[in-house]
Amino acid sequence: MKESEQTMLEIRNLHATVGGKAILKGLDLTVNAGEVHAIMGPNGAGKSTLGYVLAGREGYEVTAGEVLFKGRNLLELEPEERACEGVFLAFQYPVEIPGVNNTYFLRAALNAQRKHRGEPELDSMQFLKLVREKLEILHISDDLMHRAVNEGFSGGEKKRNEIFQMAMLEPALAVLDETDSGLDIDALRLVADGVNRQRSPERAMIVVTHYQRLLEHIVPDFVHVLADGKIVASGDAELALKLEEQGYTWLEQGGIKPLAGANPA
């Protein structure tokens, strides 16, 4: 396979500000199809900002650098175009939308994406069949489908709903922002299991997390450490364990050097 075909995401020298404050300060990252990359880092390092910049949230201003998604300039696309092209952000805090039924919302979203790709829209029978298939694969009950989007959902239900949306929308690139936050161990296992079932040679994932424990369940191919708006270290799953043992302070004291060649560029 030629490199240009398998490179999913290429971030070069990305600088971004939020409310005039510089958060990302020259971030480089290359992610290929089929890979799972974990991005770890202390609070305030810019982890969530990276997710929002990739998804195109207003107020997250890119001041330098570029982001290529399947070879295309991602930053010039509207959020919905990015979604239709295959970028999915699983939110750290999924938004509650009272009055919008989860099933209705997801069908509208899926059909918007299908329309964008020139595929026929799914009628409600076809859609519900797909819903049932995906629910079964993820071992999720259908009670979430009858409720308003995230409204009154527990933390675990919200995260499960994100993973379910991902399964329905089948993105090429999924960014999971602190998907483990606020989950007890059972909920974490369920969500991680849902993510693992969606690993595929065609799909890339970026798993953003503060803690190593998620990575016991979603074992990444690569681990990157984000500190002060830059990737300061990259390695394999072992790096996450090391961070868990020794903490981020040790890292900031220069105890670890960026591993040359670990970032699969």
Partner 1 sequence: MNTPAPANLADRWSDALAALQPASGPAWLQALRQSAAGHFRSSGLPHRKVEAWKYTPLRVLDDLALATDAAQGEAGRAIAMPAPLCDRAAIVDILDGVPAWSAAAIPDGVTLMSLAEGIGHFEERLRPMFEAIELDGPSRAFAALNTALAQQGLLVHVAAGREAGRLLLRWVSLPGTAAVMKQFRLFVLLDHGARLDLVEQYQSMAAVTGGLNVLCQAELGDGAVFGHVRVQAESDQEVLLTSTMLEQAADSSYVYRGFDLGASLARHEITVRLAGPGATADIAGAFVLDGKRHLDNHVSVEHLAAGCRSEQFFRGVLGGRSRGVFNGRALIQPGADGSIVRQSNANLLLSPLAEMDTKPELEIYADEVEASHGATVGQLDEAAIFYLRSRGLDEAAARRMLTTAFCHAVTDRVSGRGLAERIAELLDAAMPTDTDV
Question: Which residues sit at the interface with partner 1, rule CB under 8 A?
Answer: 55-58, 78-80, 82-84, 88-89, 91, 94-95, 97-100, 105-106, 108-110, 112-113, 116, 148, 165, 169
C-alpha–C-alpha distance, residues 261 and 255, integer Å: 18
C-alpha–C-alpha distance, residues 108 and 168, integer Å: 12
Tokens 């396979």 locate to 1
Tell me if residue 78 falls in helix, strand or coil.
coil
Report the residue number, 145 or 243, with the smaller CB distance to partner 1: 145
| Least distance between partner 1 and beta carbon 240 (Å) | 27
Report the residue number, 93 or 250, with the smaller CB distance to partner 1: 93
Strands (E), the chain: 7-18, 21-32, 36-40, 60-69, 72-73, 87-90, 97-101, 148-149, 173-177, 204-209, 222-227, 230-235
| Least distance between partner 1 and beta carbon 208 (Å) | 15
C-alpha–C-alpha distance, residues 116 and 84, integer Å: 6
Report the residue number, 174 or 192, with the smaller CB distance to partner 1: 174
| Least distance between partner 1 and beta carbon 185 (Å) | 27
* Angle of CA points 54, 52, 63, to nearest 5°: 70
| Least distance between partner 1 and beta carbon 250 (Å) | 36
Report the residue number, 97 or 137, with the smaller CB distance to partner 1: 97
Q: Are 105 and 161 in contact (CB under 8 A)?
A: no
Report the residue number, 161 or 263, with the smaller CB distance to partner 1: 161
| Least distance between partner 1 and beta carbon 88 (Å) | 8
